[in-house]
Chain A
Amino acid sequence: MKEKTFFFGKYKTLFGIVTTPPKELINNNLPAIIILNAGVLHRIGPNRLHVKLARKMSEFGYTSLRFDFSGIGDSPTRDDNLSYEKKFLSETKDAMDYLVSTQKIEKFILMGICSGADMSLQVAYSDERVVGAVLINGLLLGDNRSYEVASYVKKNVKGRIYRKKIFDYKSYLRLITGKSDFKSIREFMLFKIKNRFLSKQSNTPQINLDKKMEQIVQRNVNLFLIYSEGSVAYDTYRLGLESEIKSLATSGFIQVEIIENVDHVFTLLWSQKLLLNLVKKWCLSLNLSATKK
């Protein structure tokens, strides 16, 4: 495996790192993998996941690129007034253009966690060079209402954490041995009381799937949606998107995986290993010529 730094984009200010497989495994029939920033974290990703993914996939002949959008990590902010979404679209396309010209690869799989997943979906819609996308804990909402929906579902996540602990034997063990987190218990009681009063008053926002997903699937783009139980994206899926996604999944181009006991960014090592294996298996199953180690 070899890694190389590079600048790209209109002003050559976007910074990224390309991971290429060992010479004997290089296979330019495979799509390249482009990994997008998760939130404000730089290109190595939460818990260094992007680095691990890129290096893992190089063992199977995949070239990967991880880079920083402008204003994140080591890419400076832009001088123009391009909107948030247009900026990310344009810069991801620049990344693809770079790989086309330097690696002669013309097809791409996008990957992202959280906002990276959302951006992957947007780019997949607008650029036909994208043949697949791994969307990890993306909200995937239409009509740009992510903040409104996220703040609503956050309460749901909290409720789920508390309910999970009620049914966890370790909670009772801690209670008996005096090691309970009484602060959390108090918070839970207050949460229940508050929700009992507010639940009838709060407006449940409409949770709609981004319509672009349907059009992406019609183009035979493969999508792998991964949700971890501890993510607000999981709630968005369960509370609003599930039936639409399941309906689209009958096309055979969408796979959904739900992973229990895992937080939004796969902090625990076993969950990172699981995620890497899931992504690897999915990529290899895409019926594209892969070089196996």
Chain B
Amino acid sequence: MEPFYFGENYKLLFGIYHPPLKQVITKCGIVLCYPIGQEYLRCYRAFNKLAISLSASGFHVLRFDYYCSGDSYGDVENLEINQTLDDLSMAIEELKGGSGLEKICLIGIRMGATIAINSSLRRQDVSGVALWDPVVNGKEYFNEIKTLHREWLKGSFSMGKMKISNDQIQEILGFPFSDSLIKELENIDMLSINKLSTKNILLINSVKEINLMFLKEYLEKLDTNVDYQNIETPEIWIKKNSEKNKALVPIKILNSIKSWVERLFL
């Protein structure tokens, strides 16, 4: 693997490029899109393994941290969804430039999946998008993580208010969410997408209580092939006081993504 910094001088992004470990002809490179906040930490290992697995299949793979997250420059308070979309565009250009490939497949989990699909709307070079438990509605997502934060707070020694006084910031499980970020989240609604440029979508649902068939049907109406898979596994992105699922790697899901990518792009 080849770690490196790329992007604009004061907004450098950290990325890790995984070169193909096999000499095969691939139709696209792959960019992995992390979730945000606490969920990023918990999905890191799974994405690491996924990247290694895909590069073993012969793909050029890039995973990277958005500005203001992970090892990229910037303070967490300044994270913005619009910026993450620009970051992803830069990552795509970086991979295309480095690999010589003209097409890209995006793979995202949770908010990363939502960022991936929204990024694909702006581009003509995205051959496929894998959506692993995507955030469909930003308002519902924010309410969900607020609830998780409250639940966690109840069972912990920590004391604190949801909103830090005098600042335009709320905090969720260790990460600040500015008012502008919250507004951006609340504007997210995958059911408001009215045109897709990508023809191939993999939609993975791992949460027992959730049924994403409605999303599958909606996306299919936009003239795209949707491969929907229900693979029940623990929600690896969730922070709880009993940390049973920390660093879990759901192999079934990784294998499913790998098979889909190989079937379409090898």
Interface residues of A (CB under 8 A from B): 3, 5, 15, 17, 39-44, 46-48, 51, 73-74, 160-161, 164, 181, 184, 228-230, 260-263, 265-272
B156 nearest in chain A by CB position: A263
Number of B interface residues in the complex (CB < 8 A): 34
Assess whether A261 is in contact with B159, with CB atoms less than 8 Å apart. yes
Does B76 sit at the interface, judged by CB under 8 A? yes
User: Interface readout for B20-61 with A: 1 if CB under 8 Å, 0 if not?
Assistant: 000000000000000000100100110010000000000000
Please name 20 further chain A to chain B contacts, defined as beta carbons within 8 Å, in addition to the given A267-B173, A268-B160, A269-B176, sorted by A numbering.
A3-B5, A3-B14, A3-B73, A17-B14, A41-B44, A43-B71, A48-B69, A48-B70, A51-B70, A51-B71, A161-B155, A164-B157, A184-B155, A261-B158, A261-B159, A262-B157, A269-B160, A269-B164, A269-B171, A272-B174
**Which residue of A has the minimal Cβ distance to B171?**
A269
The smallest beta-carbon distance between B35 and chain A, in angstroms, is 14
Closest-by-CB residue of A relative to B70 is A44
State whether B41 touches A41 (Cβ < 8 A): yes
- A74 with B171: in contact, given A40-B45, A261-B157, A267-B156 (CB under 8 Å)? no
Q: Are B154 and A184 touching (Cβ within 8 A)?
A: yes
A59 smallest CB distance to B (angstroms)? 13
Distance in Å from the Cβ of B229 to the closest Cβ of chain A?
Answer: 27
Give, as a whole number of angstroms, the nearest-CB distance from B239 to chain A: 8
> Among the listed B3, B171, B173, which residue makes an inter-chain contact with A5, where contact means beta carbons less than 8 Å apart?
B3
Q: List, sorted by A's number, 6 A–B pairs whose CB atoms are closer than 8 Å.
A: A228-B157, A230-B157, A265-B174, A267-B156, A268-B160, A269-B171
Contact partner, A74, options B48, B73, B169, Cβ 8 Å: B48
Task: Write out the residue numbers on chain A whose beta carbons fall within 8 Å of the beta carbon of B160.
Answer: 261, 268-271
Known contacts A3-B5, A15-B3, A261-B157; A73 and B48 CB within 8 A of each other = yes
Docked complex Cα distance between A272 and B160 (Å) = 12
List the A side residues contacting B73 at CB < 8 Å.
Answer: 3
Residue of B nearest to A48 (CB): B76
